[in-house]
Structure 1
């Protein structure tokens, strides 16, 4: 047989309901105070750069070195735009033509030999960024930053805003 549960007394129900309403009001007030003290979330362009790495279009990528960022960013650009390597080479050729002493290095090429002509000891510094395209990483920090700046121009991005580095 089933045991019958006695119905709660109406006074007990009213007391429980009043207690629950008071608790709900207290929780609501606490939440309102907490929400007032919350700082506004940063916007993508206002987000600080990562402690170590780079931020590209609001997304942060952790890397430890400028060389790692250099290769990763060129790979990302080549993924987004398969024509990027060709367009970058054209822009680089135009930039180098403006200088009084153009470099023999290719910076971006299809073979290690084209990256570092006559320097087989440097061929190990060739990193693939896309099928058939190698990036030379044995460059000064200043040269890498200049090449990244040019890469941003080729991609239509603003260096320092849409691509930011935070490296030691």
Structure 2
């Protein structure tokens, strides 16, 4: 099939396929044959398949001698023209997968899905824009006859469509997620920006100035924040009608009580370090148990080296020593810092809130 796709690609570049008949006989039929379909056997492939609503160019026959896939062929450059017609045929016939192609572009759809036609597209393949090997793999994933007969082609399509729908939803929510992070004055976001600015310039901006800058990126800073001068140290107003309310996280100091002593740290990371040092010095031998308790699939929050904390990117660990030979990674959200503190209390049998009373911003 690789050689066939190479030849088709070369001919597409030369605009050799001048009409639908040329595409059908020069591209679609040869590819179906390579994919295991006997195009001369009407028990496998039915050209000009007729139903109550019209005709479709090809019906690929699956189990029970029922149509499993509809293939509609259009002239080059007209691949998007047949969506509605093809979907109506497939939906009313109960066909689980349909393909719309102009020879160059191949679109695979789940006709029974929800949303617009574009929402129901599983994959769009450009034959002359991908390597022949990749084209062959994708065509086989959805159209290989053996996969159609054992239903794996449809499972592949449903799985791929679900992944695409999830990705589309995640991308759509990113602006809202960013706006909410800024509106909350997210501790890790502010700390990371302040640290990077200090590393580049040698001077650390205030948390308020960092938050004011982040607001400008939402496109609503003029409406949601008070003006802050370049030397300001006052808090930024929260994006609410009351202009005097401070945004959580703009004032990063953390006040807490540990073993009967009230302490204050300049920010959540410093509080985490102090709390862990105070707790673990009681019994360093329990640190391996604490390390195991806070470990996740992707990282070890407490470990012997930055490489263990952030595998592959130790520069992102921002690790600090909490006991001789033991580090904690600080490039984490405040809720994760609180999780580490809670697990430390369990491992070291610290009573909360009598022995330790602490709350981190936005945790």
Map of 1:108 onto structure 2? 302
Q: Which runs of 5 or more residues in structure 2 are unaligned?
A: 1-252
Indicate which of 272, 292, 314 corresponds to 1:70: 272
Residues 89-143 of structure 1 show CA distances to partners (whole Å, capped at 9, x for unaligned) of 23335xxxxxxxx4320001111010011113314x1101111111001111111
Map of 1:154 onto structure 2? 347
Give the distance between the partners of 1:78 and 1:68, measured in 2 at CA: 15
Q: Which runs of 5 or more residues in structure 1 are unaligned?
A: 1-50, 94-101
Normalised to the residue count of structure 1, the TM-score between the two structures is 0.58
1:5-44 correspondence runs (5 A):
none
Change (3 A) 1:89 1:120: closer
Question: Does structure 1 residue 120 correspond to structure 2 residue 314?
Answer: yes
Q: Cα distance, 1:166 vs. partner?
A: 5.2
Q: Secondary structure at the match of 2:332?
A: coil
Q: Cα distance, 1:167 vs. partner?
A: 5.2
Give the distance between the partners of 2:325 and 2:342, measured in 1 at CA: 23
Residues 9-40 of structure 1 show CA distances to partners (whole Å, capped at 9, x for unaligned) of xxxxxxxxxxxxxxxxxxxxxxxxxxxxxxxx
Indicate which of 283, 296, 299 corresponds to 1:81: 283
Whether contact under 8 Å (1:77, 1:155) holds in the other structure is yes
Q: Secondary structure at the match of 1:159?
A: coil
Give the distance between the partners of 1:157 and 1:68, measured in 2 at CA: 20
Whether contact under 8 Å (1:64, 1:167) holds in the other structure is no
Q: Cα distance, 1:153 vs. partner?
A: 0.8
Q: Cα distance, 1:73 vs. partner?
A: 0.9
Whether contact under 8 Å (2:268, 2:334) holds in the other structure is yes
Give the distance between the partners of 2:353 and 2:305, measured in 1 at CA: 31
Indicate the structure with greater helix content. Answer: 1
Whether contact under 8 Å (2:254, 2:268) holds in the other structure is no
Give the distance between the partners of 1:68 and 1:52, measured in 2 at CA: 9
Alpha-carbon RMSD across the aligned residues, in angstroms, is 2.0
Q: Cα distance, 1:59 vs. partner?
A: 1.0
Residues 52-106 of structure 1 show CA distances to partners (whole Å, capped at 9, x for unaligned) of 422012111221211111011111122111113112123335xxxxxxxx43200
Q: Secondary structure at the match of 1:83?
A: helix
Q: Secondary structure at the match of 2:312?
A: coil
Give the distance between the partners of 1:106 and 1:115, measured in 2 at CA: 5
Q: Secondary structure at the match of 1:62?
A: strand
Give the distance between the partners of 2:342 and 2:360, measured in 1 at CA: 16
Normalised to the residue count of structure 2, the TM-score between the two structures is 0.28
Count of paired positions: 109
Map of 1:135 onto structure 2? 328
Give the distance between the partners of 1:78 and 1:143, measured in 2 at CA: 18
Change (3 A) 1:132 1:62: same
Q: Cα distance, 1:155 vs. partner?
A: 1.1
The structure whose RCO (Cα within 8 Å, separation 6+) is larger is 1
